[in-house]
Structure 1
Amino acid sequence: MADPTTYRPAAGTIPTDPGVYKFRDVHGRVIYVGKAKNLRSRLTSYFADVVSLHPRTRQMVTTAASVEWTVVGTEVEALQLEYNWIKEFDPRFNVRYRDDKSYPVLAVTLNEEYPRLFVYRGPRRRGVRYFGPYSHAWAIRETVDLLTRVFPARTCSTGVFKRHRQIDRPCLLGYIDKCSAPCVGRVSADEHREIVEDFCDFLAGRTDQMIRKLEREMTSAAEELDFERAARLRDDVGAMRRAMEKQAVVLGDGTDADVVAMVGDELEVSVQVFHVRGGRVRGQRGWVVERSDDDSMGEQVSQFVTQFYGAQVDLDASVQIDDGRARGESIPREVLVPELPDDQAELQEWLSELRGSRVALRVPQRGDKKALFDTVARNASEALTQHKLRRAGDLTTRSAALTELQETLGLDQAPLRIECIDISHVQGTDVVASLVVFEDGLARKSDYRHYSIRQAAGEGRSDDVASIAEVTRRRFLRHRQDQEAPERPAVDPESGRPRKFAYPPNLFVVDGGAPQVHAASSVLDELGVTDVAVIGLAKRLEEVWVPGDDEPVILPRTSEALFLLQRVRDEAHRFAITFHRSKRSKRMTESVLDGVPGLGRTRRTALVTHFGSVARLREATLEDISGVPGIGMATARAVAAALSGDTAADGTAPDGDVPESADPVYTSDRVEETTGDRAP
């Protein structure tokens, strides 16, 4: 634990101008970013009596080893710079408003010849238009089911679409008129795109004019005695009205606002946002985050608005397409919040610049907006209650687990950074390893690494031990080289970011018992790494092995420390299996295709990349195979012939490959082969 007085700058050297400051730890990593109207006043508050500080602030200043600041011209510039640095450095002591889940959205693939409607979760893509987020996927499916009778757009996957185009027969939705069946040419590409654009216009809020248009057509059809068409139009109008009823009218027509509510206690804050577009609630999002400090409600609002809308604008810019949408389209004209922050004017100016028009930050006082805000606040309170029920004591659990590990293993400090390695292979072939990283008890997936083992592996546990030694050496050799090379500092002087793995973990975990631990420990001794603790977690009895001890450490089954170690080990196991399956699948595909006339390494690689596995390639038609760039029909026939004869009559695969019926069972140290049902 560092003493803040060792790096406290002299008060007279700190400017009184607005600016942004960064705290760094002993390895040069940025652990906290903040802004201030007066840098001297703000930074001086961090170096008061440590006992009087908030627990999280106290932990931050005792973890830090230095502080630096950047002076800017205005508070708006400070706001922008703070957001950019939080996004760039991802400091672990800043509150991170990240969803506890991936909210589903309705995606429309406008970048395809025949656009498709489907439920989607994940990162945004260029050329795809998104509506939402929605709280539940079933809400999207219900809406699409209602509207496809009015806007019969394609909802099938690419594979289904191609298959029905080949057989020249529509799917069930085409027969019941919930799809215009572009796969069989019932409508042209331009006609289908027009249907999809009308669908997007309806979801974007242009509902009244569409309903009026259908009603006029219905009246006209009735006057012409075309009662069948009039009845169909009547049903279409009813479907559109039912879809609109699912989004209750809450505010006047044209209201464009986000309603933000925050409910919290001394440890956590629940945030709920309702997105109101065209007077209707179009989406809802929620977070439960740790309270970073004894900040006021206004300061919390400022932090949330900066991070949330900055990220939304970055997302808009990454998926912008030529359909007239602006870069700041996700920012509404009005943001309703529980309390106005001190930097309200700067926030409004910043949001207005991002949107390109005036944005107001207000507290609702009366009327419909106040009633809606109360509803959002009740949702935030309920979300906080449910979170506490699901994860009782979650905030203290990680701290308790790390403290228990420190005390049990006799470490100098709590293991804030834990790394774990695991080995996977099939009877000594395709040996791979994974390395996962946990910081503050949470997975840090951006630091994950996987390795292809260079040593020739055979059968037996000794090869697992050798593999662990190799991975340990490769991981820490780079760290030692960086330490010994003054021209390669731990922190890149240009970007300000730490170099990859330029700093060691506090605790290094291997999956295994005494032999594996001894192998890793011996490598660290050989490299002269003395500030990293090594342990092993044996899977059968969940024993913790420490180097040099003849008996393992047995943690209680209810131990939070044991639960944390299990999570770390299981994550390393999962990551190793994922990489192993990918590598093994590619090897099997390439081995089956060896010797096919006209199929060299480049074309084999193209087939492997396109289909991904032997099973998928075997199921592909000649047209699918010949559709791969560089593969002609003659080569496709040769590939199909090779695949049809790659299994012998006795069910075994040639060249040592696994037959199609074989189902690999993965364990923490190896992968065993069985046939038939998966072993328990």
Structure 2
Amino acid sequence: MADPTTYRPAPGTIPTDPGVYKFRDEHGRVIYVGKAKNLRSRLTSYFADIASLHPRTRQMVTTAASVEWTVVGTEVEALQLEYNWIKEFDPRFNVRYRDDKSYPMLAVTLNEEYPRLFVYRGPRRRGVRYFGPYAHAWAIRETVDLLTRVFPARTCSAGVFKRHRQIDRPCLLGYIDKCSAPCIGRVDAEEHREIVEDFCDFLAGRTDLLIRKLERDMSAAAEDLDFERAARLRDDIGALRRAMEKQAVVLGDGTTADVVAIAGDDLEVSVQVFHVRDGRVRGQRGWVVERSDNGTDGDVIGEFITQFYGAQVDFDATVDVGEDRAHGESVPREVLVPELPANAAELEEWLCGLRGSRVTLRVPQRGDKKALFETVARNAGEALTQHKLRRAGDLTTRSAALTELQENLMLDQAPLRIECVDISHVQGTDVVASLVVFEDGLPRKSDYRHYAIRHAAGDGHSDDVASIAEVTRRRFLRHRADRDAPPPESGEVDAEPQTSAQPRKFAYPPNLFVVDGGAPQVHAAAAVLDELGVTDVSVIGLAKRLEEVWVPGEDDPMILPRSSQALFLLQRVRDEAHRFAITFHRSKRSKRMTASALDGIPGLGKTRRTALVTHFGSVARLREASLEEIAQVPGIGLTTARAVQSALGGDTVAEAGPESEVVSVESVVSETVNEAEMTVVTGDAGRGVDE
């Protein structure tokens, strides 16, 4: 535990201007970013009596080893710079309002020739328009099922679409007129895109125009005595109205606003947001985060608005979401909050700059907006209650496991960061390793790493001990390189975001380094740490046979009770490392098997291999194709087609084994990366996130 007085700057050296400050730990890693109207006043408050500080602030200042600051011109510039640095450095003591991935959305792939409608979860992608988030996936499917009667857009996957195009026969939805069947040419690409755009307009709130148009068409059909068409249009209007009823009108006069409410205690706070567009609730989001300080609800609201709308505008700047971004992805005209933050005027100015027009930040006082705010507040309170019920046992269990590990392994402190290494191979081929990271007993997947073992390349056998030593050396050489790298210069600079500097995650060593194995593996890892002069990392091994814990220098293993929470945590870490290694090993083996199926065919290079598998979908279908069908692929002539047919019909395919039967396009493209390049990409410099 560091003494804050050892790095406290002299008060006279701190400017009184607005600015942004960073606390760094002993490894140079940024652990906290904050902003201030008066830097001297704000920074001085961190060096008051430690006992008077908030527990989270007290832990931060005792973890930090230095503080630096950047002076800016205005508080609005400080807001922007603080947001950019939090996003860039991901400080562990900053509260992060990460997007809730559990909510499904309706995605429309406008970047495809024939756009598709489907349920989607996860990060947004370029060229795809999103509606939601919805509370349940079935709500999206029900809405799509109602609307495809009126807007028969494609909902099938790329594989199904391609298959029906090849057989020239529509799917069931095409037969029942719930799809316009562009796969068989019933409509062309332009007509299908018009259908999809009408679908998007309806979900975006332009409902009255569409319904009035259908009513006019229905009347015209009835006057022409085309009663069958008039009946279909009548049913279509009914389907649209049923879909509209599912989105209740909560505010009149076409209000576009976000309603934010919070509920919390001294430790945690729940934040709920309802997105209201054209008077209707279009989406809902929720977060439960730790309360960062003894700040008021207004301070919490200020932090949330900065991070939430900054992230939304970052998304809008990189992804084309269309002219109407009325689904929570952009800044609305009005933001209703329970309490105005101290810097409300600066926040309004910042939001106006993001939106490009006037934005109002205010507290609802009466009427429909007040009633809706109370509903959102009840949702926030319910979310906090449910969170506490779910997490109470987990928090207690994790704390007990970390404390028990500290006591059994006689560590100086609880192992808040644990890293585990595992090796995966099949009889010495495709040897790979994984490194997983757990912080506070939970996986930190952004720090996971893959390693392609170098010493085993082409050996035909595997030495797990040598592999463990290699991974340990590469991991801590990276740690030493990052640790010795000069930190970014501090001082008075412009308020421009420093996007070139990246957080040095591996300059932060683990408290506990776990290897999958027994005494030989543990001794190999410990020898590497001794060689590199790393003395502040404890090493243990977990053997699978009896779940024995091996400690360097001990002849006998440590046996933890079967009911031990510490053993459960170690098993979970080890199993996660094993799963991550197996995933990478299968990927690497699949690429090698793909190469063995199509590699070595005269006249067949990377581009032609990709063209063949793209056209036929798999090597199995390519094998069944005739000579004329193969020759029709762009870039493939009769000579190459004969060579392909001969190779796939001979012993070459048989040697590849059954796993080469179905080969994806991505595998053929990825196969062109050679072994040396793979080692770099998946090694220390790579980021192997398993999402």
TM-score, normalised by the number of residues in structure 1 = 0.89
**Equivalent in the alignment of 1:592:** 597
- 1:527–1:491: structure 2 CA closer, same or farther, 3 Å change rule? farther
Letter in 1 for 2:135: S
Checking the alignment, whether the CA contact within 8 Å between 1:109 and 1:128 is kept in structure 2 is: yes
Q: Where do 1:254-269 residues align within 5 Å? A: 254-269=254-269
Q: Where do 1:368-517 residues align within 5 Å? A: 368-395=368-395, 397-456=397-456, 463-480=463-480, 488-489=485-486, 495=500, 497-499=502-504, 501-517=506-522
CA RMSD of aligned residues (A): 3.1
Q: Where do 1:71-110 residues align within 5 Å? A: 71-110=71-110
**Equivalent in the alignment of 1:677:** none
Structure 1 stretch displaced more, 198-207 or 387-396: 387-396
| 1:547 has 2:552 as partner | yes
Letter in 2 for 1:551: D
Give the paired residue count. Answer: 654
**Equivalent in the alignment of 1:654:** 655
2:392 is paired with a residue whose SS is coil
Checking the alignment, whether the CA contact within 8 Å between 1:590 and 1:604 is kept in structure 2 is: no
Deviations 1:499-518 (A, max 9, x none): 46334322211112222111
- 1:504–1:273: structure 2 CA closer, same or farther, 3 Å change rule? same
- 1:309–1:68: structure 2 CA closer, same or farther, 3 Å change rule? same
Structure 1 stretch displaced more, 628-637 or 342-351: 628-637
- 1:533–1:601: structure 2 CA closer, same or farther, 3 Å change rule? same
**Equivalent in the alignment of 1:526:** 531
Q: Quote the Cα distance in structure 1 between the aligned partners of 2:629 and 2:45.
A: 67
- 1:558–1:340: structure 2 CA closer, same or farther, 3 Å change rule? farther
Deviations 1:604-646 (A, max 9, x none): 5777899998678768998997798755575456445544555
1:65 is paired with a residue whose SS is strand
- 1:14–1:332: structure 2 CA closer, same or farther, 3 Å change rule? same
Q: Quote the Cα distance in structure 2 between the aligned partners of 1:609 and 1:334.
A: 48
Deviation at residue 389 of structure 1 after TM alignment:
2.2
Letter in 2 for 1:101: K
Checking the alignment, whether the CA contact within 8 Å between 1:165 and 1:183 is kept in structure 2 is: yes
Letter in 2 for 1:201: D
- 1:429–1:530: structure 2 CA closer, same or farther, 3 Å change rule? same
Structure 1 stretch displaced more, 125-134 or 272-281: 125-134
**Equivalent in the alignment of 1:576:** 581
Checking the alignment, whether the CA contact within 8 Å between 1:510 and 1:516 is kept in structure 2 is: yes
Checking the alignment, whether the CA contact within 8 Å between 2:428 and 2:462 is kept in structure 1 is: no
Checking the alignment, whether the CA contact within 8 Å between 1:589 and 1:608 is kept in structure 2 is: no
Letter in 1 for 2:288: V
- 1:25–1:173: structure 2 CA closer, same or farther, 3 Å change rule? same
| 1:114 has 2:119 as partner | no
- 1:94–1:633: structure 2 CA closer, same or farther, 3 Å change rule? farther
- 1:232–1:610: structure 2 CA closer, same or farther, 3 Å change rule? closer
Checking the alignment, whether the CA contact within 8 Å between 2:204 and 2:326 is kept in structure 1 is: no
- 1:165–1:422: structure 2 CA closer, same or farther, 3 Å change rule? same
Q: Where do 1:596-611 residues align within 5 Å? A: 596-600=601-605, 603=608
Letter in 1 for 2:392: A
Letter in 2 for 1:282: R
Deviation at residue 448 of structure 1 after TM alignment:
2.2
Deviation at residue 597 of structure 1 after TM alignment:
3.0
- 1:266–1:447: structure 2 CA closer, same or farther, 3 Å change rule? same
Q: Which runs of 5+ in 1 are unaligned?
A: 662-680
Checking the alignment, whether the CA contact within 8 Å between 2:29 and 2:504 is kept in structure 1 is: no
Which stretches of structure 1, 4 residues or more, deviate above 6 A after TM superposition? 324-329, 457-462, 490-494, 605-629, 655-661
- 1:567–1:584: structure 2 CA closer, same or farther, 3 Å change rule? same
Q: Quote the Cα distance in structure 2 between the aligned partners of 1:27 and 1:158.
A: 48
1:392 is paired with a residue whose SS is helix
Checking the alignment, whether the CA contact within 8 Å between 2:270 and 2:288 is kept in structure 1 is: yes
Letter in 1 for 2:553: G
Q: Quote the Cα distance in structure 1 between the aligned partners of 2:534 and 2:592.
A: 37
Letter in 2 for 1:599: L
Q: Quote the Cα distance in structure 2 between the aligned partners of 1:609 and 1:436.
A: 35
Checking the alignment, whether the CA contact within 8 Å between 1:586 and 1:612 is kept in structure 2 is: no
Q: Quote the Cα distance in structure 2 between the aligned partners of 1:141 and 1:227.
A: 30
**Equivalent in the alignment of 1:248:** 248
Checking the alignment, whether the CA contact within 8 Å between 1:492 and 1:498 is kept in structure 2 is: no
| 1:154 has 2:154 as partner | yes
- 1:73–1:303: structure 2 CA closer, same or farther, 3 Å change rule? same
Checking the alignment, whether the CA contact within 8 Å between 1:327 and 1:355 is kept in structure 2 is: no
**Equivalent in the alignment of 1:225:** 225
**Equivalent in the alignment of 2:61:** 61
Q: Where do 1:617-632 residues align within 5 Å? A: 631=636
Deviation at residue 322 of structure 1 after TM alignment:
6.9
Q: Quote the Cα distance in structure 2 between the aligned partners of 1:443 and 1:607.
A: 41
**Equivalent in the alignment of 1:181:** 181
- 1:159–1:482: structure 2 CA closer, same or farther, 3 Å change rule? closer
Checking the alignment, whether the CA contact within 8 Å between 2:596 and 2:652 is kept in structure 1 is: no
Checking the alignment, whether the CA contact within 8 Å between 2:270 and 2:289 is kept in structure 1 is: yes
Checking the alignment, whether the CA contact within 8 Å between 2:434 and 2:449 is kept in structure 1 is: yes
- 1:630–1:573: structure 2 CA closer, same or farther, 3 Å change rule? farther
Q: Quote the Cα distance in structure 1 between the aligned partners of 2:220 and 2:617.
A: 55
- 1:591–1:69: structure 2 CA closer, same or farther, 3 Å change rule? same
Deviation at residue 204 of structure 1 after TM alignment:
0.6
Q: Quote the Cα distance in structure 1 between the aligned partners of 2:641 and 2:347.
A: 60
Q: Where do 1:160-239 residues align within 5 Å? A: 160-239=160-239
Q: Quote the Cα distance in structure 2 between the aligned partners of 1:331 and 1:563.
A: 45
| 1:130 has 2:130 as partner | yes
Checking the alignment, whether the CA contact within 8 Å between 1:29 and 1:497 is kept in structure 2 is: no
TM-score, normalised by the number of residues in structure 2 = 0.87
Letter in 2 for 1:389: L
Checking the alignment, whether the CA contact within 8 Å between 1:261 and 1:273 is kept in structure 2 is: yes
Structure 1 stretch displaced more, 54-63 or 115-124: 115-124
Letter in 1 for 2:603: G
**Equivalent in the alignment of 1:289:** 289
Q: Quote the Cα distance in structure 1 between the aligned partners of 2:627 and 2:212.
A: 50
Deviation at residue 345 of structure 1 after TM alignment:
0.8
Instruction: Indicate the structure whose relative CO is greater, using CA pairs within 8 Å and at least 6 residues apart.
Output: 2
2:220 is paired with a residue whose SS is helix
Q: Quote the Cα distance in structure 1 between the aligned partners of 2:164 and 2:617.
A: 23
| 1:48 has 2:53 as partner | no
Q: Quote the Cα distance in structure 1 between the aligned partners of 2:61 and 2:98.
A: 24
**Equivalent in the alignment of 1:39:** 39
Deviations 1:99-141 (A, max 9, x none): 4534221111112221111112222222221111112211111
